[in-house]
């Protein structure tokens, strides 16, 4: 289902409301939350509502979506650091609640196995909140990805490494990513795919209106029965 909002604020309010409602209904929910600019305001609003309404996130499990390989967790620009600032610290999330890729690990395959196991142990994602890359990627599932893959390491598309510079204050070498696989995201009970702004309009049109294909991984998500596609007017401009 596609829902349009008049602007980024309305889109973010809606998404935040959904997250908080899910945790109210299911305090032990399993959440997978994307990094990136798009959900930033959503997370601020989640924290605001959770504080105002004393909604506890103490039983929630967080499964990491993706990370830049070689970017330490503590480094601004890492997906972990972003979520730590936006969600984990403000909501007093304990370390045992968070299962996130350590992309500085020596053995990245072991990291994938570890996160696959964490997700298996948690059961199933209750919600995956994902953004969309300019090339249609989801997490770091880049164009052409095998949709049956679970967590894996991936060579990043040039557009991804170029766009990724926006998260870092100085030019940063980015080449590989580590990510949950499409199979795991597609198994989520609910998926929210968010897009905001003019620059996302063309890829949103491809993801929603061209034949479903792993050439645009977001099209696999968008066509999924449990997916809510949330767009602001600018991102929906080419539909």
Query: Under the rule (CB under 6 A), what is the footprint of ligand GLP?
Result: 34-38, 65-66, 130-133, 139-140, 160, 164
Closer by beta carbon to ligand GLP, 29 or else 156: 156
Give the Cβ contact number of residue 75 at 10 Å.
15
Alpha-carbon gap, residue 186 to 172, rounded angstroms: 31
- Name which of 42 and 118 has its Cβ closer to ligand GLP: 42
CB of 68 within 8 A of CB of 174?
A: yes
**Which of 142, 157, 232, 234 does the annotation list as catalytic?**
142
Taking the complex as a whole, the smallest distance from the CB of residue 235 to ligand GLP amounts, in Å, to 10
Residue (57 or 167) nearer to ligand GLP, CB: 167
| Residue 66 known to be catalytic | yes
Distance CA(224)–CA(233), nearest Å, equals 22
Mark whether 99 is an active-site residue.
Answer: no
Q: How far apart are CA 229 and CA 63, in angstroms?
A: 21
Q: Give dist(CA 40, CA 108) in Å, integer.
A: 27
135 in catalytic set: yes
- Give the shortest CB-133-to-ligand GLP separation in angstroms: 4
Q: How far is the CB of 27 from ligand GLP (least distance, A)?
A: 26
Among 111, 128, 110, residue whose Cα is nearest residue 182: 128
> Per the residue annotation, which of 66, 67, 157, 234 is the catalytic one?
66
Q: How far apart are CA 152 and CA 87, in angstroms?
A: 25
User: Which residues, at least 6 apart from 61, have a Cβ–Cβ distance to it below 8 Å?
Assistant: 28, 29, 30, 31, 97, 99, 122
Return the closest-CA partner of residue 153 out of 186, 184, 124, 179: 179
The active-site residue, picked from 81, 111, 126, 137, is 137
Question: Min. distance of Cβ 132 from ligand GLP in angstroms?
Answer: 6
Q: Output the smallest distance, CB 24 to ligand GLP, in A.
A: 25
Nearer to ligand GLP, 41 or 47 (CB): 41
Nearer to ligand GLP, 37 or 120 (CB): 37
137 is catalytic: yes
Catalytic residues: 66, 135, 137, 142
């Amino acid at each position: 289902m596609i829902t349009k909002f008049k602007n980024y604020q309305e889109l973010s309010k809606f998404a935040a409301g959904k997250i908080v409602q899910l945790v109210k209904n299911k305090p032990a929910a399993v959440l997978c939350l994307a990094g990136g600019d798009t959900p930033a305001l959503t997370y601020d609003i989640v924290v605001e509502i959770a504080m105002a309404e004393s909604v506890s996130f103490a039983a929630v499990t967080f499964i990491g979506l993706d990370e830049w390989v070689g970017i330490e967790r503590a480094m601004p620009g890492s997906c972990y650091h972003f979520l730590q600032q936006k969600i984990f610290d403000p909501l007093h999330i304990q370390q045992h609640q968070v299962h996130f890729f350590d992309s500085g690990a020596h053995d990245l395959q072991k990291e994938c196995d570890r996160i696959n196991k964490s997700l298996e142990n948690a059961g199933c994602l209750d919600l995956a909140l994902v953004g969309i890359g300019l090339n249609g990627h989801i997490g770091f599932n880049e164009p052409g990805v095998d949709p049956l893959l679970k967590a894996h390491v991936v060579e990043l598309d040039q557009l991804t490494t170029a766009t990724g510079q926006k998260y870092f204050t100085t030019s940063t070498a980015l080449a590989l990513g580590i990510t949950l696989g499409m199979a795991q995201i597609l198994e989520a009970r609910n998926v929210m795919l968010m897009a905001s702004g003019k620059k996302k309009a063309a890829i949103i049109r491809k993801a929603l209106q061209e034949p479903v294909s792993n050439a645009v991984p977001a099209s696999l998500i968008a066509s999924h029965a449990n997916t809510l596609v949330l767009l602001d007017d600018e991102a929906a401009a080419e539909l």
